[in-house]
Amino acid sequence: MSAATPPITRLFNFVGSNAGPWLIDHMRSVVGEPIVTASRLSVVSGPVAQLPLETSWLLRGIASNERYVTREEKVALVSRQEGLGRKASTRAALIPIRKNSSWWALTQDERREVFEAQSRHIAIGLKYLPAIARRLHHCRDLSPNEPFDFLTWFEYALSDSVAFEELVEALWASPEWKYVDREVDIRRTHAEV
Amino acid sequence: MSAATPPITRLFNFVGSNAGPWLIDHMRSVVGEPIVTASRLSVVSGPVAQLPLETSWLLRGIASNERYVTREEKVALVSRQEGLGRKASTRAALIPIRKNSSWWALTQDERREVFEAQSRHIAIGLKYLPAIARRLHHCRDLSPNEPFDFLTWFEYALSDSVAFEELVEALWASPEWKYVDREVDIRRTHAEV
């Protein structure tokens, strides 16, 4: 591997501070304890060497194997999805969530039942592909004391802002969300002035 | 919470050194890169404040939600299993394994198919309950660079040594084990002299 090719890592850091490429123009605590406000966001892969001086928070997550998707669903998702970093994707959201102990006490078949049979989580995401690109990061097994279980990062174009709102509202209304006991909604919804 | 009650943690460290309560009398690389030898093993929960001077290795894992077990299987397991730390359990094994990229590219339904329909992993474990007590620790999502994906810790009585060998050999012979690309078998099989 050449020095110019950094190793691919599954670990991503979301740094909220007063510096970074992503403007934060909207932060809202949906349920549970809020996090402090920040005006800019950086997404950093791998270990973080140095934090901006005025860092408000650093949320870490790891891209991992999917826990519920079947092969048939995976084929449908892959055939429609597009990557992060599209030029037109000037809007973004970071939505950290934590699920309660009742969720984690469910068995695999019970969690799948709530996740898809009851909540259509995969079907809802599929409906908004390729418009809403996303990457899911797992936090729960990074350490025993992570503030959230999952971080989802979304990127989309201004013209898909309404679609994104529909997606989020569909998930909020789902039976799966009854298990969410902490959630923060961090957005870049407007253009830079 | 009183000072005498330490917080329950899901993080466990297995420290191989020349000190610690568990004698290691057998270490074998089953497949892939070996780890250096050690004569004693400690199981430490939570963050490790200080390592023994001559530490050979520290393997970390986190007890997490089960990924394949259904409610019916869980009920059967819970009704038969006993905890770690039984007085008669003077024998133990630590078996770290890593699975290859083909495994992690499988979808949930495909992994469950290999794990239980083909390999009877849960049924095999159930057959040896309550004799063989175990705790599974996940490592893969602790960081992007963990040496193993899972650490399983087993405790059993001398009189169940043959049963333990049968259990391990049944798993080694299973289709699931074709995906294992690194495995070390660390045992305390004999009494202290």
> pLDDT tens digit string along A77-115?
999 999 999 999 999 999 999 999 999 999 999 999 999
Q: Which of A68, A107, A146 to mutate to test the interface with B (most CBs of B within 10 A)?
A: A107
| The predicted structure's pLDDT at residue A191 | 82
What pLDDT is attached to residue A40?
96
For A12, A96, A98, A141, the CA distances from A149, given in Å and listed in that order, are 14, 8, 5, 8
CA A165, distance to chain mean position in Å, is 14
**Coil, strand or helix: which one is A150?**
strand
SS3 B168: helix
CA-based R_g, chain A, Å: 17
Look at residue A140 and tell me whether its pLDDT is greater than 70.
Answer: yes
The answer to whether B62 and B150 are in contact (CB under 8 A) is no
Pick from A93, A77, A65, A114: nearest CA to A186: A93
pLDDT-above-70 percentage for chain A: 96
Q: What is the mean pLDDT of residues B162-173?
A: 98
CB-based contact A11 B144, cutoff 8 Å = yes
| Nearest residue in chain B measured CA to CA from A74 | B107
Sign of CA dihedral B81, B86, B88, B92: positive
Q: How near does any CA of chain B get to the CA of A192, in Å?
A: 34
The confidence score (pLDDT) of residue B117 equals: 97
Residue B3 has pLDDT above 80, yes or no: no
Whether B64 and A141 lie within 8 Å, measured CB to CB: yes
Contacts for A103 with CB less than 8 Å, ≥ 6 apart: A111, A179
- By C-alpha distance, the chain A residue nearest B68 is A108
Selecting from A71, A109, A138 the residue whose C-beta is nearest the C-beta of B110 gives A71
Q: Do B62 and A107 touch (CB under 8 A)?
A: no
Average pLDDT over residues A23-46: 96
Q: Inform me whether the pLDDT recorded for B64 exceeds 50.
A: yes
Does residue B10 register a pLDDT over 50? yes
Q: What is the mean pLDDT of chain B?
A: 94
**Contact indicator for A170, A103 with CB cutoff of 8 Å:** no
Provide the CA B45 distance to its chain's centre, in angstroms: 14
Q: What is the pLDDT of residue A3?
A: 52
With H, G, I as helix, E, B as strand and everything else as coil, classify residue A115: helix
pLDDT for B1: 40
Exposed (0-12), middle (13-18) or buried (19+): which is A191, by Cβ within 10 Å? exposed
Name the nearest CA neighbour of A177 among A78, A25, B141, A185.
Answer: A185
Q: Which residues of chain B does A73 touch, with a Cβ-Cβ cutoff of 8 Å?
A: 107
The pLDDT score that the predictor gives to residue A149 is 98
Return the residue of B nearest to A105 by Cα: B65
Residue A126 CB-half CA count within 13 A = 14
Mean pLDDT of the region B62-91:
97
pLDDT, position B51:
87
Rounded to two decimals, what is the model's pTM? Answer: 0.94
Instruction: Compute the 3-state secondary structure of chain B and give helix, strand, coil in percent, each to the nearest 5.
Output: 25, 30, 40
Helix (H, G, I), strand (E, B) or coil at B166: helix
Does the pLDDT of residue B7 top 70, yes or no?
no
What is the overall mean pLDDT for chain A?
94
At B5, is the pLDDT very low, low, confident or very high (cuts 50, 70, 90)?
low
Q: SS3 for B73? A: helix
How much is the average pLDDT of B25-33? 97
**Pairing state of beta strands B57-62 and B22-23?**
unpaired
Distance CA A169, CA A74 (A): 23
**Which residues in chain B have Cβ-Cβ distances shorter than 8 Å to A109?**
70-71
> Measured between CA atoms, how close is B193 to chain A, in angstroms?
38
State residue B190's pLDDT score.
87
B6: pLDDT confidence band, cut at 50, 70 and 90? Answer: low
- In angstroms, rounded to a whole number, what is the distance separating the alpha carbons of residues B77 and A141? 23
Confidence of residue B4 (pLDDT cuts 50, 70, 90): low
pLDDT at position B50: 85
